């Protein structure tokens, strides 16, 4: 890979999550959510990852593989990514009855990645269901490769990747040799829609279905999750508050400031 421009093998870590407008209810066991009425979509940050992968491929050549750990339902999300233009999908089926926490998911993903060639791995900064911000960097750690998180711009040249990452109050530019993993942040791109021909083509693209033992993992040694949910609740519903009265806009503004200052002590 030294000096010469080289094709880039890209793997996107993709999770299927409830659409953000879905109502989330707590299931009878008190530690999981009801899944009956949920509309499932690609995690929005992973959609950025798919788009960025396609752009890297368009610029450098190479291929885009989608890797997901989940139930069979996740095939839909992979198929959508293939319709956007990814080349192939791999779904690792999570065995029934085993709960994967972020760390276990990262173990499964990194084990699967030992059999998949890659120069660049792209993950979302977080999945909007568990909001863990963990799987990307943990997968990189298990693979022993560098990672850069919260990336809004990347450039690949001469076997190196330069990334602009957002931090509190600004951006920082970091550089890493490949192979490496980066996670996406809003602002990196606007994901394309799957075109009709794209959707047709996706039907013929391969999706490998595997389970943990196919990739050499013993479901028993995957272990118990280290972080265990003991109860779920919904936060106290925010209620409609007070509409501030006043004859004029001036009066309303004055009344609001008075309340915020004297009663709420927020000012």
Ligand X SMILES: Cc1cc2nc3c(=O)[nH]c(=O)nc-3n(C[C@H](O)[C@H](O)[C@H](O)COP(=O)(O)OP(=O)(O)OC[C@H]3O[C@@H](n4cnc5c(N)ncnc54)[C@H](O)[C@@H]3O)c2cc1C
Q: Would you tell me which residues interact with ligand X (CB under 6 A)? A: 20, 44
DSSP H helices, 85-189, are: 102-113, 135-143
Rg (CA), the chain: 22
DSSP 26: B
Partners of residue 209 on adjacent β-strands: 91
When CB distances are held under 5 to 8 angstroms depending on the partner's kind, the choice from another protein, ligand AMP, ligand X, none that residue 93 binds is none
Residue count, binding to another protein (CB under 8 A): 83
Question: CA 232 to CA 173: how far, in whole Å?
Answer: 39
CB 140 within 8 A of CB 109: no
CA 129 to chain centre: 10
Tell me which of 66, 90, 112, 148 binds another protein, using CB under 8 A: 148
CB 146 within 8 A of CB 140: yes
Tell me which of 186, 209, 213, 214 binds another protein, using CB under 8 A: 186
Q: Residue 175, interface with another protein (CB under 8 A)? A: yes
Q: Look at the chain and count its residues.
A: 267
Minimum separation from the CB atom of position 6 to another protein (A): 18
Q: Residue 147, interface with ligand AMP (CB under 6 A)? A: no
Window contacting ligand AMP (CB under 6 A); options: 67-75, 82-90, 157-165, 202-210: 67-75
Minimum separation from the CB atom of position 176 to another protein (A): 5
CB 157 within 8 A of CB 177: no
Minimum separation from the CB atom of position 53 to ligand AMP (A): 11
Q: Residue 15, interface with ligand AMP (CB under 6 A)? A: yes
Binding site for ligand AMP (CB under 6 A): 13-15, 43, 45-46, 68-70, 102, 105, 109, 123-124, 126-127, 130-136
């Amino acid at each position: 890979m030294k000096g010469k421009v080289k094709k880039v093998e890209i793997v996107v870590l993709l999770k299927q999550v409830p659409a953000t407008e879905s109502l989330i209810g707590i299931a009878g066991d008190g530690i999981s959510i009801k899944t009956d009425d949920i509309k499932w979509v690609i995690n929005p940050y992973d959609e950025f990852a798919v788009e960025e992968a396609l752009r890297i491929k368009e610029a450098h050549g190479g291929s885009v593989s989608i890797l997901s750990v989940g139930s069979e339902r996740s095939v839909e999300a992979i198929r959508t990514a293939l319709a956007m233009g990814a080349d192939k999908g791999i779904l690792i089926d999570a065995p029934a009855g085993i709960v994967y926490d972020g760390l276990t998911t990262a173990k499964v993903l990194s084990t699967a990645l030992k059999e998949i060639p890659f120069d660049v791995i792209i993950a979302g900064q977080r999945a909007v269901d568990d909001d863990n911000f963990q799987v990307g960097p943990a997968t990189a750690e298990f693979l022993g490769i560098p990672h850069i998180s919260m990336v809004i711009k990347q450039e690949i040249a001469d076997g190196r990747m330069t990334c602009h990452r957002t931090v509190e109050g600004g951006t920082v530019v970091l550089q890493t040799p490949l192979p490496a993993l980066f996670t996406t942040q809003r602002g990196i791109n606007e994901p394309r829609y799957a075109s009709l021909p794209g959707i047709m083509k996706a039907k013929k693209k391969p999706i490998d279905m595997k389970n943990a033992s196919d990739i050499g993992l013993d479901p028993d040694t995957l272990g118990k999750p280290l972080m265990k949910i003991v109860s779920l609740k919904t936060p106290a519903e925010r209620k409609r508050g007070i509409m501030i009265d006043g004859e004029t806009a001036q009066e309303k503004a004055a009344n609001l400031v008075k309340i915020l200052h004297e009663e709420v002590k927020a000012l």
